[in-house]
Amino acid sequence: MDFLDLDCPTKVLFGANTFKQIGEVIADWGCRRAMIVSDPGIVALGYPEKAVTLLKRQGIGATLYTGVHENPSSEDVIKGVEAAHQYRPDLLIGLGGGSSMDCAKGMNFVYTNGGAIQDYWGIGKAQKEMLPMVAIPTTAGTGSETQSFALISDAQTHVKMACGDKKATCRVAILDPVLTATQPHRLTALTGIDAIAHAVETMVTTKRNEKSLHFSRRSWELLSKNFPLVLENPDDLEARGGMQLGACLAGIAIENSMLGATHALANPLTAHYGIVHGQAIATMLPHVIRFNAVTMENDYATLAELISNDASSVQTASSEQLASFISDLVEQAGLAGDLRTLGVEQDCLAVLAEDAAKQWTKQFNPRTVETEDLLLLYQQAF
Ligand SMILES: [Fe+2]
């Protein structure tokens, strides 16, 4: 089996129809009981049932837990852990978008280490070993497959908890672009722009380093080239593969660099108005680029240079070029470019800014952002 040669603890199997190799991938792990974590939309596409059949061919029993919702909550995790106690799996498979992979990771914390998911908010809180995990993403977005973090919303407070532990890292990620080709256009748009934001934000955080920069650049090259192509032609499997690999590499960049103000600004929009993550990101990213450009002009210009091979444009590459390119992509994707269109009320911006100031990723933004800066960014996006 040919895994990609990446400097990453997760082994990545990439290519059309690699999904069919799920049984072979885990054949020598000694696992006998797999629990596949997914959501009803993916179940309707038939992939989880297919995975069960493929595993059975290898003599591995499997069952499904399909109670995952978008932005998975602590409730989804509790129900999943109950199902796990019934079935007693020795392997977890996250099959679906970021929500399924995150929920599987969240379940893994609680099933193996006890307590509640809230106990694992932060980094390195798990004391005991965790079950081996496989991630099979069906979107090109979060890059959860190559991260040690599970993002789980507290069902009561709606606060997004980032629960990270190296033990939660997936052992293998299977990237099969065929699985992403069935996504509705809007999901392609929402997840694609999120992946793009991951490449851009990781490029400039205060935690970035040589390794993260390498993955930010590689993911950006793939995503900036292939996103327009998949928007135009959803059946372009090569472009789908480019997006999927780009999102995965951006996941490695996040693991080594963290995220910034765009994600801090997006979370309150989701919590207060139910605006989906990708849409919130799409609206805020160009404004954050312009804000950060005061100190990060050269890094953004590097990304702008990578957009085009046209030598003449390299001379003029700038942060403004990058921000405009992303705004154009948002428009091409059919997403809203301003908060007013999304139903956000102007007199709520101050409350949103206070919430954004409490977000974890704020601290990694290259330019210090206080509540008044975050308010200004919301006002600019209004
Ligand atoms: Fe994101």
Per-residue pLDDT of the chain (382 residues; tens, 9 = 90+): 889 999 899 999 999 999 999 999 999 999 999 999 999 999 999 999 999 999 999 999 999 999 999 889 999 999 999 999 999 999 999 999 999 999 999 999 999 999 999 999 999 999 999 999 999 999 999 999 999 999 999 999 888 899 999 999 999 999 999 999 989 999 999 999 999 999 999 999 999 999 999 999 999 999 999 999 999 999 999 999 999 999 999 999 999 999 999 999 999 999 899 999 999 999 999 999 999 999 999 999 999 999 965 554 556 789 999 999 999 999 999 999 999 999 999 999 999 999 999 998 999 999 999 999 999 999 999 9
Q: How far is the CA of 262 from the centre of ligand 1 (A)?
A: 9
Task: Please name the helix (run of DSSP H) or strand (run of DSSP E) that holds residue 151, with its range, or none.
Answer: strand 149-153
Q: How far is the CA of 80 from the centre of ligand 1 (A)?
A: 24
Q: How far is the CA of 264 from the centre of ligand 1 (A)?
A: 10
Hey, how many other C-beta atoms are within 10 angstroms of the C-beta on 150? 28
Q: How far is the CA of 246 from the centre of ligand 1 (A)?
A: 14
Q: How far is the CA of 24 from the centre of ligand 1 (A)?
A: 32
Q: Give, in order, the Cα–Cα distances in Å from 356 to each of 5, 263, 271, 371.
A: 37, 9, 11, 8
Q: How far is the CA of 144 from the centre of ligand 1 (A)?
A: 10
Q: How far is the CA of 215 from the centre of ligand 1 (A)?
A: 16
Euclidean distance between CA atoms 283 and 77, whole angstroms = 30
DSSP 10: S
Q: How far is the CA of 100 from the centre of ligand 1 (A)?
A: 15
Q: How far is the CA of 62 from the centre of ligand 1 (A)?
A: 31
Please list the alpha-helical segments (H only) found in the chain: 22-25, 40-45, 47-57, 74-87, 98-113, 177-180, 185-202, 210-232, 237-257, 261-273, 277-307, 311-314, 319-332, 349-357, 371-381
Q: How far is the CA of 263 from the centre of ligand 1 (A)?
A: 6
CA angle 17, 21, 23 (to 5 degrees): 150
CA nearest to 74, candidates 13, 138, 8, 157:
157
Q: How far is the CA of 55 from the centre of ligand 1 (A)?
A: 31
Q: How far is the CA of 54 from the centre of ligand 1 (A)?
A: 32
In this structure, are residues 342 and 275 in contact, taking their beta carbons and an 8 Å threshold? Answer: yes
Task: Please name the helix (run of DSSP H) or strand (run of DSSP E) that holds residue 37, with its range, or none.
Answer: strand 33-37
Q: How far is the CA of 337 from the centre of ligand 1 (A)?
A: 17
Task: Please name the helix (run of DSSP H) or strand (run of DSSP E) that holds residue 33, with its range, or none.
Answer: strand 33-37
Cβ neighbors of 291 (< 8 A, separation 6 or more) are: 261, 367, 369, 373, 376, 377
Hey, how many other C-beta atoms are within 10 angstroms of the C-beta on 204? 25
Residue 184 exposure: Cα atoms within 13 Å on the Cβ side? 6
Euclidean distance between CA atoms 45 and 183, whole angstroms = 10
Residue 12 exposure: Cα atoms within 13 Å on the Cβ side? 25
